[in-house]
A and B are shown apart, each in its own frame.
Chain A
Amino acid sequence: MSDVPTAAMASKAQAAEQANARGRVYERFNLHHRIQHFFMAFPFTMLIITGWPLRFPELVVSKIGCALVGGVEVVGILHRIFGVMLVAVSIYHVVYLLVMFLRGQRSVAMLPSITDAKEAWGDVMYFIGVRDKRPRFGRYNWIEKVEYYAVIWGTVVMILSGIIIWIPQVATQYLPSWVVPASVIVHGYEALLAGLAIFLWHFYWVHLHPSVYPMSMVWLTGKLTEDEMEHHHPRELEMIKEREVNDAEKKP
């Protein structure tokens, strides 16, 4: 792109102004995304709650919690029900990705790239005060990508170790016996890790961060305003507008 003003650039600026005037919104998460997020978040939270007593049985809160729902056996049954929900939503996500891929609606937005490493470096520079602005992020920034892959890793680990603990007498017919105590350790610590990652890290960015406090509504509405796009995903906004301009130019 040259610095010389062209007709294309002029029309691009026009289009942007029009969009602003209309109070335009951009769809960040479609209905599938939002359903998947909700049915991930709900059983995740419930699994943390129902798994807590067995992880820390000596705490008074664990004992009170068990007594309230009618005993540790009930808590165990609830934990399994929410576990099945989590497995179901994971399958839903895989099927969704597969269908999108086969339909040709393929997106590379979530794939890790060299840009992410650069953005991560830029972010660190911003955090320690060397640079004045955060990098211009695209559709998914490096933090969001790390979170996504962490969720995938964590879910796979939790589901596998959870199944082994659920039916150890079947698991030990095919696997060495040490997988059972190993799964118990993995299930407990991975849960702690996942819980802390969500309630400290994820909640910081979507709840506590000054620009979204008290909560970013995008997980419910799926929509971002022009300002929010400019603030959080400027490079994506730029690309959208560029594409619109190109499309507009092609039409006549």
Chain B
Amino acid sequence: MNNSINSWVIRGWAAVLVVLVLLGGWAARAQEDETAPAATPEPVPGAPRFVEQQSAMETCLLCHGKYNLIIRIEGVPRHSLWLDQTSFYKSAHSALHCSECHTNIDQDGHRLTPADVVVQCTPCHSEEEISAEGGKTLEEIQADFEHMLEVTGFNTVKTVTLQACFSCHPDEYLEYRDSSHGVAAMRGGYTDAPTCIDCHGSHSILPGDDERSPTNLLNIPVTCLRCHDQEALQARAGLERNVGESFKESFHGRRGELGGTQIAVCSNCHGTHAIFPSTDPRSKVNKTRIAKTCGECHEGAQLNFASAFTHQTVNPREQLGLYILKQIYKWVIFLLIAQFVVFAALDIFQTFRHRHREKAKDSANV
């Protein structure tokens, strides 16, 4: 009796369970059917593939909300994966989920992007543990990552970034893709060729008219010079030297230093996404276009006007005439000031000496 009652109870519960599972499955499918047409619009070629189930920010922030989340990747000993929430929530992208940009990141383990899995797992987890979890050994993961770097030429995070930004900003992406920056990044070999985030920032992206944005007029020189002022990079990528120094010496740079906003910064002359070397006819500073570029601010500018402004600094190798002029002025000023000071000092000395003598004479006469 007890057995039969027990078996009925078990059977009853089993039936309920089956019904619930079926219902759940139907509900899940129904939901899928409902959302499916809306979630898959006509795919743009090259557009990023969103991870189906978007993770809530909170899930990511379990780890990425911790400021001490630091990993070691190739060439970067301390790479922080901490998301600064205060800056992110103030940014233009504050309404987006992590996974809307970090499209290739799988929820558990981030296994799809080697760049993101090269966390130093071993302090906490044994190699066996990792191998069992991810199906790959630590060495294999490292090798994958290094191979990826070799093939793409740059950090996978950057590739993902490009894809993510492209989905909403296709025009900017296409301009960028053909530019010097884009070509260098795609060709590989230049791990430091900039993508979107190098100029615009990542989590704290702001519109250009916000003065905290790295693409704000007054911040652009700093943003560009972070790379263009590095001598090693100038040599490797064949960049023009002294661009920072000559900009600071120019009236554009000086007015900017004094807080002026009616100035031209890097992007006003060289363009933004479509940047090319000056020898390229597509460049804004190419001989065929530079007069027009200057004319945007300087009404009536012609080629001869434009060629008055270069990135050459005044030194004997590049600008001998101007260098000599400057040296002459420096010496003339130095010698004249020396003469002023010496003559004035001698004059004062003599004046007081004679006064003293006359007084002595007077007192002797008295």
Interface residues of chain A, those whose CB is within 8 Å of chain B, are 53-54, 57-58, 62-63, 66-67, 71-73, 75-76, 126-129, 132, 165, 168-170, 172-173, 176-182, 184-186, 189-190, 192-193, 196-197, 200-201, 204, 208-211
Verify B348–A177 contact, CB threshold 8 A.
no
Q: Is B341 part of the binding interface, using a Cβ–Cβ cutoff of 8 Å?
A: yes
Instruction: Evaluate whether A193 and B332 lie within 8 angstroms (CB atoms) in the complex, with A127-B350, A168-B298, A169-B300 already known.
Output: yes
CA of A62 to CA of B299, assembled, Å: 29
Q: Is B307 part of the binding interface, using a Cβ–Cβ cutoff of 8 Å?
A: yes
- How near does chain A come to B345, taking the closest CB pair, in angstroms? 9
Q: Mark B315-353, 1 if CB is under 8 A from A, else 0.
A: 000010110011001101100110011011011101111
Verify B329–A193 contact, CB threshold 8 A.
yes
Residues of B in contact (CB 8 Å), total 45
Verify A169–B301 contact, CB threshold 8 A.
yes
- How near does chain A come to B328, taking the closest CB pair, in angstroms? 9
**Residues of B contacting A192 with CB < 8 Å?**
333
* Majority DSSP secondary structure for residues of A touching B: helix
Verify B302–A53 contact, CB threshold 8 A.
no
Look across to chain B and name the residue whose beta carbon is closest to the beta carbon of A204: B344
Verify B336–A189 contact, CB threshold 8 A.
no
Using A71-B259, A72-B259, A165-B251 as known contacts, list a sample of 5 further A-B pairs with CB atoms less than 8 Å apart, ordered by residue number in A.
A57-B255, A73-B262, A128-B346, A180-B308, A200-B337
Verify A185–B329 contact, CB threshold 8 A.
yes
Verify B341–A200 contact, CB threshold 8 A.
yes
**Residues of A contacting B332 with CB < 8 Å?**
193
**Residues of A contacting B329 with CB < 8 Å?**
185-186, 189-190, 193
CA of A184 to CA of B341, assembled, Å: 28
Verify B260–A71 contact, CB threshold 8 A.
yes
Look across to chain A and name the residue whose beta carbon is closest to the beta carbon of B304: A172
Q: Is B314 part of the binding interface, using a Cβ–Cβ cutoff of 8 Å?
A: yes
Instruction: Evaluate whether A72 and B350 lie within 8 angstroms (CB atoms) in the complex, with A169-B305, A190-B329, A193-B329 already known.
Output: no
Instruction: Evaluate whether A126 and B350 lie within 8 angstroms (CB atoms) in the complex, with A57-B258, A182-B325, A201-B340 already known.
Output: yes
**Residues of A contacting B341 with CB < 8 Å?**
200
**Residues of B contacting A129 with CB < 8 Å?**
350, 353
Q: Is B359 part of the binding interface, using a Cβ–Cβ cutoff of 8 Å?
A: no
**Residues of A contacting B321 with CB < 8 Å?**
178, 182
Verify B340–A204 contact, CB threshold 8 A.
yes
Verify B258–A169 contact, CB threshold 8 A.
no
CA of A185 to CA of B350, assembled, Å: 38
Verify B330–A54 contact, CB threshold 8 A.
no
Instruction: Evaluate whether A172 and B308 lie within 8 angstroms (CB atoms) in the complex, with A54-B255, A190-B329, A204-B344 already known.
Output: yes
CA of A196 to CA of B341, assembled, Å: 11
CA of A71 to CA of B257, assembled, Å: 11
- How near does chain A come to B262, taking the closest CB pair, in angstroms? 6
Look across to chain A and name the residue whose beta carbon is closest to the beta carbon of B262: A73
CA of A193 to CA of B334, assembled, Å: 9
Q: Mark B271-285, 1 if CB is under 8 A from A, else 0.
A: 000000000000000
Contact among A169, A190, A200 with B340 in the assembled complex (CB-CB below 8 Å): A200
Q: Is B354 part of the binding interface, using a Cβ–Cβ cutoff of 8 Å?
A: yes
CA of A189 to CA of B330, assembled, Å: 8
Instruction: Evaluate whether A73 and B260 lie within 8 angstroms (CB atoms) in the complex, with A184-B251, A193-B332, A201-B340 already known.
Output: yes
**Residues of B contacting A128 with CB < 8 Å?**
346
Verify A66–B322 contact, CB threshold 8 A.
no
Verify B340–A67 contact, CB threshold 8 A.
no
**Residues of A contacting B322 with CB < 8 Å?**
178, 181-182, 185
CA of A63 to CA of B260, assembled, Å: 10
Instruction: Evaluate whether A173 and B304 lie within 8 angstroms (CB atoms) in the complex, with A72-B255, A185-B325 already known.
Output: yes
CA of A209 to CA of B353, assembled, Å: 14
**Residues of B contacting A165 with CB < 8 Å?**
251
**Residues of A contacting B333 with CB < 8 Å?**
189, 192-193, 196
CA of A168 to CA of B348, assembled, Å: 46
Q: What are 8 contact pairs spanning A and B, CB under 8 A? A: A54-B254, A54-B255, A58-B257, A169-B298, A179-B308, A185-B322, A185-B326, A193-B336
- How near does chain A come to B170, taking the closest CB pair, in angstroms? 38
CA of A132 to CA of B352, assembled, Å: 12
Verify A196–B350 contact, CB threshold 8 A.
no
Verify B337–A66 contact, CB threshold 8 A.
no
**Residues of A contacting B348 with CB < 8 Å?**
209-210
Q: Mark B242-260, 1 if CB is under 8 A from A, else 0.
A: 0000000001011101111
**Residues of B contacting A190 with CB < 8 Å?**
329
**Residues of B contacting A208 with CB < 8 Å?**
344
CA of A172 to CA of B314, assembled, Å: 20
Task: Tell me the residues in window 284-318 of chain B with beta carbons closer than 8 Å to chain A beta carbons.
Answer: 294, 298-302, 304-305, 307-309, 314
Look across to chain A and name the residue whose beta carbon is closest to the beta carbon of B326: A185
Interface-centre pick from B257, B319, B332, B341 (highest chain A CB count, 10 A): B257
Verify B326–A210 contact, CB threshold 8 A.
no
Task: Tell me the residues in window 129-157 of chain B with beta carbons closer than 8 Å to chain A beta carbons.
Answer: none
Instruction: Evaluate whether A169 and B302 lie within 8 angstroms (CB atoms) in the complex, with A57-B254, A185-B325, A189-B333 already known.
Output: yes
CA of A241 to CA of B179, assembled, Å: 84
Verify B258–A66 contact, CB threshold 8 A.
yes
Verify B260–A72 contact, CB threshold 8 A.
yes
CA of A104 to CA of B51, assembled, Å: 97
